[in-house]
Structure 1
């Protein structure tokens, strides 16, 4: 397909440069010793025995209380950049809480699934729930009380959480991430 496009003069009139990046070996680092042993074992059971360098750097920075922005291509391991420190904090302190913001319902759903999968391997009672416009009134109270990780969107943060912040005391008093 690439050769076909390269040979198409109509397509190529819009191309200013063509570069093929050669494959390179992954750069990895070991899990930090600060990761709870049961969390590390859960990731290892899923085949993750080392971290990519950007994942380790993100963990180290977040663990040190710094802010982090991760900008990498799709399927490069961004989810682990934030799930590892969040799950590690909750594994070490069951009162720790996290608030995840995503712009779309599909992305929120994918992230709750990713957390749930690793939590199932971990064997701890860590709860992650979506809180959006489709969350029933009866479920909203349960999310406020039980969720370690609340996954929502900016609209719900501003219209459903912040105006009712007194109902979210457990989340806000224990918010780590």
Structure 2
């Protein structure tokens, strides 16, 4: 693998639509996806409910190539209710195959923690499929704990898969 130089994580911009859509398609896997594999014609990446302001983007420069989008994380309020406005939820994390193993996922998580705090949150949550061991290990290493399990919540590839709810404190906002 060629060496990567990560750039500072930044907010997504409307111009990232095509690059993020391609990243999303290239990382589709039954390890984490509950929706079927996307097929042409493809929908835009940004649409109602998925706006640029919901995403943070990691870019990296490869030793052997140009700067590219190495990953993204989607961070949103879990509901529109004022009673849980102190919580942010991760609803998507993707790392390009060429950038895996370089710390992009961890960098995006830490950027999401900082952004959530900047938005006034003191808690962050996510959901992950039980069989996604690499993601669960990453989340645990960053302080997430299992807070609940929805047994057999999804039927994927001919078997029932648990949905694991994880969370962690961000400390005072």
Q: Which structure carries more strand by proportion?
A: 2
Q: Which has the higher Rg, Structure 1 or Structure 2?
A: 1
Q: Which structure carries more helix by proportion?
A: 1
Shorter-chain TM range is 0.3 to 0.5
TM-score by length of 1: 0.32
TM-score by length of 2: 0.33
